[in-house]
Amino acid sequence: MTLDMTMADTAIQKSVYLPAPRKRVWEFLTKADLLNKWFHPAQKDLAEGEDYLLTSQKDGDRMCWGTVQEMSPYDYMKWSFTVGPMNGAMTTVEWRLEDAPGGTKLTLEHSELPTDSEGYGLVLALDKGWHGFLLNLHDMQ
């Protein structure tokens, strides 16, 4: 199966409200030991301009990878992002952190997703995955 990975308006957008300050949420988005608690194990802390690799907690297999394209601590981060089914095609994941009463509003936008009907299954899987991972952040300590 070949997926149409042309840039388009297909995007996943999700927000979650977390009872923690932006600095703490940022640490969960960027620190290897904390990424492991809610998402996937990272080889190292995320840093602007550097590649990242997140692996499976079960067997250490490669789950997702790309490059951290931009970081503005406690406010914004942008990644290039791919997973195995994308066959190396890159998408974009953006994270926005905003103050909210009692904590932080974290917004994820995953864009440049497949535009064809064959790729829709991948979009659904990514949507479900992001939903679950963001819910995991409610358990941050």
Residue-wise pLDDT tens digits, 21-69: 999 999 999 999 999 999 999 999 999 999 999 998 778 788 899 999 9
Q: What is the DSSP string of 83-138?
A: EGGGTT--EEEEEEEEEETTEEEEEEEEES---STTTHHHHHHHHHHHHHHHHHGG
Instruction: Tell me how far apart the alpha carbons of residues 35 and 65 are, in angstroms, rounded to a whole number.
Output: 13
Average pLDDT, the chain: 91
Helix/strand/coil for 22: helix
pLDDT at 141: 62
| Domain boundaries of the chain, sorted by first residue | 22-139
> How many helices and strands in the chain, by DSSP H and E?
3, 6
Options 3.30.530.20, 3.30.1360.200, 3.40.50.11440, 3.40.50.1820; CATH of 22-139: 3.30.530.20
pLDDT at 8: 53
Strand partners, 51: 67
How many of the other CB atoms lie within 10 Å of CB of 114?
22
pLDDT at 7: 44
